[in-house]
Amino acid sequence: MENKTLIFLCLVLFFFCNWLIPVTDPTENCYALTAKEMLQAGDYFSPRIYGNFWYDKPIFFYWEILLAYKIFGVNEFALRFFPAVFATAGVFLTYFFTTKIFNKQVGFTAAVILATSPEYWYIAHAIITDMTLFCAISTTLMTFFLSYTEKNPKYLYVAFAAAGVAVLTKGPIGFLLPGLIIFLFLISQRDLKYLLRLEILKGAAIMLAIISTWYLPMYLIHGQQFLTDFIGVHNFLRATVSEHPQYDVWYYYAVVFLIGFFPWLLALIRIKKLPPLDSRRRFLIIWAATVFVVFQSFATKYPTYTLPYMMPIAILFGEYFSERQKIFQRIAAAMVVFFTAGIFVALPICETNSHKETAKIILPLADEKTCVVSYGQAYAGSLVFYSGLTVYRLEETEKIAKLKPAEMKWTTTNVMPFLDFKDLPAEKVIAVVEKNFELKFLELAKGNWQLVAELPEYKIFIKN
């Protein structure tokens, strides 16, 4: 009964209306377009975007999208299919693990709490790597704990294999984060000698074998540039230099937690007596706290980074709500209704942050000689995805010099084609301009521009 209920819940929460949600800027378009260009090039190994090799993320999530493209075609449902699949897997992993270490009632309660938490629901729909990483890291930590408590080395091999998938999904953090959590737990158990077991070496060999299927050939093909961009910029620089300095504040993830777990965090207010701190609860607390502290210490902050702490917190909350079924059922039902209706609120927001409609307007106006440019703060990456056209980022000369990719700087990510105002063609130009930049655009762009269409955030001009 529990399995059927969870399947129905996941279908409603994670798959419903996925085919209607357009690809958004500035993040989702990168994954959608990269996989699309890999598919067009027939290269399923080296990520590429705007015709350039692209070392932002490892390969595993792109493989998921490519597989979905092959099955469903290049569309929104394909792009959101595997995030929803892994979100469903995460719910069942929570149920399985919690049932093993507590009981079925706590397991079911924890799984529902996870599925109906705002942060989890959001990431289950997002075209990003984080849900796959969540499942890989969670599997690593779950199977380690089961191996440790049940003295079953087979679980340990699964843990290392899952860590290998995590590294293929996000990079070294896929191993370093669960490794740190396990290390701190063993310290709390006064059992560091566990790390000397032969199974650890065998498991590490399994993990390295999985990792080497992509990292080694990538280095052999692309050499030092791969290491500099991927390890240097997208891992070391991400931890030490904020990509978005305005979010680098001490309370950032506290706010994410309050929003991401509402209203289940009411349990924190209502708890009067804490259960005994045995090895199960200690492991869960170390797991959640380590994720929070590690990412809070990173210079670059995103609301999705702390997703790996959601399983242990959901389990701890599940233990509380499993004994209070009436309030649990009411909150769960309210959240299902809220999210089912919320998808229709999210749709216009996503449409505002997507160039799907822009592409529909532009395509009938453009031919092989038309130059398409984008001007404003956000580059119109989703326009490239939906239109298949080359879209130049229009900028002034001095800004282009500052924005062009440079080694070990965040500008490395600016791999889109640029065009200087002074190099604009005399005719056959379509310009997509953010409304806040309209006056500056008309001042700098010479010629007679005609307004073709007006969207909520953009205006489309044409010069014939």
Over residues 387-434, the pLDDT tens digits come to 999 999 999 999 998 888 777 676 788 899 999 999 999 889 999 999
For the chain, helix, strand, coil in percent to 5 are 65, 5, 25
What is residue 239's predicted lDDT score, i.e. its pLDDT? 67
C-alpha to C-alpha distance for 74 and 66, rounded to whole angstroms? 9
Long-range contacts at 252-257 (CB < 8 A, ≥ 24 apart): 252/296, 252/301, 253/292, 253/295, 253/296, 253/301, 253/305, 253/306, 256/119, 256/303, 256/306, 257/292, 257/306
Q: Which residues of 30-50 are buried (b: 16+ CB within 10 A; e: fewer)?
A: bbbbbbbbbbeeeeeebbbbb
C-alpha to C-alpha distance for 5 and 273, rounded to whole angstroms? 31
Nearest in space to 110 (alpha carbons), one of 90, 127, 140 = 90
pTM for this model (two decimals):
0.95
DSSP state of 302: -
Query: Would the CA dihedral through 447, 452, 454, 460 be positive or negative?
Result: negative
pLDDT in tens, the chain (464 residues): 789 999 999 999 999 999 999 999 999 999 999 999 999 999 999 999 999 998 989 999 999 999 999 999 999 999 999 999 999 999 999 999 999 999 999 999 999 999 999 999 999 999 999 999 999 999 999 999 999 999 999 999 999 999 999 999 999 999 999 999 999 999 999 999 999 999 999 999 999 999 999 999 999 999 988 888 888 777 777 767 766 777 788 899 999 999 999 999 877 777 777 888 999 999 999 999 999 999 999 888 889 999 999 999 999 999 999 999 999 999 999 999 999 999 999 999 999 999 999 999 999 999 999 999 999 978 999 999 999 999 999 999 999 988 887 776 767 888 999 999 999 998 899 999 999 999 999 999 988 999 999 999 999 999 97
List C-alpha distances in Å: 262 to 134, 258, 266: 19, 6, 8
Residues 321, 458: one domain? Answer: no
Residues 337, 452: one domain? Answer: no
Residues 145, 162: one domain? Answer: yes
Count of domains for the chain: 2
Residues 244, 142: one domain? Answer: yes
Indicate the residue among 308, 331, 350 that finishes a domain. 350
Indicate the residue among 317, 350, 383 that finishes a domain. 350
DSSP state of 456: S
Residues 360, 345: one domain? Answer: no
Q: Where do runs of H (alpha helix) occur along 198-324?
A: 198-212, 215-222, 224-226, 238-240, 252-260, 266-270, 279-297, 310-321
At 330, which amino acid appears?
Answer: R
Residues 167, 281: one domain? Answer: yes
Question: Which residues, including other chains, have CB under 8 Å from residue 289's CB and lie 6 or more apart?
Answer: 309
C-alpha to C-alpha distance for 406 and 12, rounded to whole angstroms? 45
**Model pLDDT for residues 3-60, shown as the tens digit of each residue:** 999 999 999 999 999 999 999 999 999 999 999 999 999 999 999 999 999 898 999 9
Yes or no: say if 306 and 249 are a contact pair by the CB < 8 Å rule.
no
Residues 21, 162: one domain? Answer: yes
List C-alpha distances in Å: 353 to 23, 210, 311, 375: 8, 37, 30, 15
Residues 185, 103: one domain? Answer: yes
Print the domain residue range for 11.
2-350
What is residue 410's predicted lDDT score, i.e. its pLDDT? 67
Residues 271, 370: one domain? Answer: no
Residues 27, 122: one domain? Answer: yes
At 121, which amino acid appears?
Answer: W
Nearest in space to 309 (alpha carbons), one of 285, 332, 328, 331 = 285
Residues 362, 344: one domain? Answer: no
C-alpha to C-alpha distance for 7 and 266, rounded to whole angstroms? 26
Residues 342, 371: one domain? Answer: no
Indicate the residue among 331, 350, 369 that finishes a domain. 350
C-alpha to C-alpha distance for 215 and 232, rounded to whole angstroms? 15
